Structure formats: C-alpha cells, structure tokens
C-alpha cells in the first residue's frame, strides 16, 4: 500500500509540473511524446512513462486538483489502474452531458 501511495504522489507531482509548464510556456499536447521519451531514457526500469499514461495522469490530476491542492487521502490509497478507470468513466459521463455532483 505504501508503494502505491508513493506512486500516486509521484504521478500527482509529475502532472502538476506538466500542467504548470503547459500554462506558463504554452506547451501543447505534443509535449507528452517528448516527455515520455525523456522519462524512459532517464528511468529505464520504471513503467508508466508512456505518452498515453502521461496524458491519463494529467487528466486525473486536473479532475482531483479542482477538489484539493494535495492528493486526496482516499485517492492515494486506490491503485493507479482503478484511478484510471474512475477518470475514464467520469470523462465518458461528462462527454455525454451528464452532470456529476
């Protein structure tokens, strides 16, 4: 459980930096491909650095950061795969025009 919490916190910090840089430096979504390549080269033994996962991390951060400045405690205890599933379901609901309360 401790490893999962640390991974979620790492993803939170990474996404926070991505969102900040996108706002400050006008980075577009193309940054995900380059960032993925750079992270894989710097950390070859770590999974989760794909372009697709980095984009999912950003979506996840954007959703939960609207609720809290820090990773909500309950969210940090949920495995990453479950967090991705939650965000995909929420995204689908928002795209269908369903209001989430």
Contact 56, 12 (CB under 8 A): no
Q: What is the pLDDT of residue 15?
A: 94
Q: Which residues neighbour 85 within 8 Å (Cβ) at sequence distance 6 or greater?
A: none
**Is residue 94 predicted with pLDDT exceeding 60?**
no
Contact 59, 91 (CB under 8 A): yes
> Considering the chain, what percentage of its residues have pLDDT values greater than 70?
88
Q: Which of 9-13, 61-65, 71-75 has the highest mean predicted lDDT (pLDDT)?
A: 9-13
pTM listed for this prediction: 0.79
Q: What is the pLDDT of residue 76?
A: 86
Q: How much is the mean pLDDT over the chain?
A: 83
């Amino acid at each position: 459980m401790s490893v999962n919490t640390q991974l979620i916190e790492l993803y939170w910090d990474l996404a926070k930096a991505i969102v900040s840089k996108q706002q400050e430096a006008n980075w577009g979504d193309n940054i995900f491909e380059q960032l993925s390549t750079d992270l894989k080269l710097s950390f070859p033994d770590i999974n989760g650095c794909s372009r697709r996962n980095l984009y999912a991390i950003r979506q996840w951060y954007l959703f939960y950061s609207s609720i809290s400045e820090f990773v909500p405690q309950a969210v940090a205890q949920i495995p990453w795969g479950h967090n991705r599933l939650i965000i995909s379901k929420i995204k689908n609901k928002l795209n269908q025009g369903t209001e989430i309360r």
